[in-house]
Amino acid sequence: MPEKVELDWGYLAELADRVARHIAGRWPIVEKDDVKQSILEHALNYRQTIEEHYQKEDFLWKIFRKAGIQYAVQERNYADLVDDQYYYTPDEAKAALRSFLYTDDELGQMIGKHDDLLSTRVTDSLVSARLDAANALKKLDERQQALLMTRYVYGLPVTEQTERQALSRAVVALSQRMNWSLRTKANAA
């Protein structure tokens, strides 16, 4: 049985403070102290892993950095959700992907057709969502791109459980990228 390591929480707090300062400098949505608190909470929850790698500061830095960035992403997503700008859902991201089957001309001819008083099937918002999805798709990794294209553009089933989970994560990642793209455009304007 490995020898139990006594953690110096003062040292870990100082390291967490340095990592939090680094992250807060790059993510204006978060405060350094909040990031530090999240990192230390993560360290407490994963104490065994911290104990195993306690002598490797560079490895601890990576663990702390990942925890801090996860907190920053969570905060940015929450801020995006509650601001007054449009927020794409994963279902809307899927619909935008499905529109890739059509050329721009075909999609343009479909706007307003087959609508009734209760529903609109193709709107100009689908055209802008399609553009946002195309831009966001380029920012995802190759596996996510392939899964999304296979399922929602080509219409082929994804049968393996691990692939379905990865597809679900890819849809969420796409909708987040679409939302980040929206906010980048709004902030640049």
What tokens does 84 get? 């007054």
Split at pLDDT 50, 70, 90, the class of 116 is very low
Q: Token digits for 11?
A: 């040292």
Higher pLDDT residue, 105 or 165?
Answer: 165
What count of other Cβ atoms lies within 10 Å of the Cβ of residue 39? 26
**Count of structural domains, the chain:** 2
The single-letter DSSP state of residue 2 is: P
**Separation of alpha carbons 23 and 12, rounded Å:** 16
Q: What is the pTM of this model?
A: 0.61
Domain co-membership, 184 together with 97: yes
Of 61, 82, 103, which marks where a domain is finished? 82
Instruction: Kindly state whether residue 64 falls inside one of the protein's structural domains.
Output: yes
Integer-rounded Cα Rg, in Å, for the chain is 22
Contact (CB, 8 A) for 92 and 126: no
**Average pLDDT of the residues in 1-30:** 88
Q: Which CATH number characterizes residue 170's domain?
A: 1.10.10
What the block records as the tokens of 162 is: 């691990």
Domain for residue 4, yes or no?
no
142 is in which domain, residue-wise?
Answer: 90-188
- Listed residue (52, 15, 60, 9) closest to 35, CA to CA: 15
CB 19 within 8 A of CB 33: no
Say yes or no: 108 and 177 in one domain.
yes
36 is a domain residue: yes
Residues 62 and 99 in one domain: no
What is the rounded average pLDDT of the residues 162-182?
Answer: 91
Question: How far is CA 179 from each of CA 76, 92, 103, 140, 189, rounded to the nearest angstrom?
Answer: 10, 11, 24, 14, 16
- Among 89, 85, 69, 171, which residue's Cα sits nearest to residue 129? 89
pLDDT at residue 117 above 50? Answer: no
In a domain, 2, yes or no: no
Q: What is the mean pLDDT of the chain?
A: 85
Q: What is the mean pLDDT of residues 79-89?
A: 78
Name the percent of the chain lying above pLDDT 90. Answer: 52
Report pLDDT for 86. 78
- Does residue 24 lie in a domain region? yes
pLDDT band at 4, cuts 50/70/90? Answer: confident
Examine the domain organization and report whether 18 and 74 are in the same domain.
Answer: yes
Q: Tell me the pLDDT band of 35, cut-offs 50, 70 and 90.
A: very high
User: ∠ at Cα 133 (180, 107), nearest 5°?
Assistant: 140
CB atoms within 10 A of CB 179: 23
The residue type found at 121 is R
Where among 59, 82, 105 does a domain terminate? Answer: 82
Give the model's pLDDT for residue 1.
44
End position of a domain, from candidates 56, 82, 108:
82
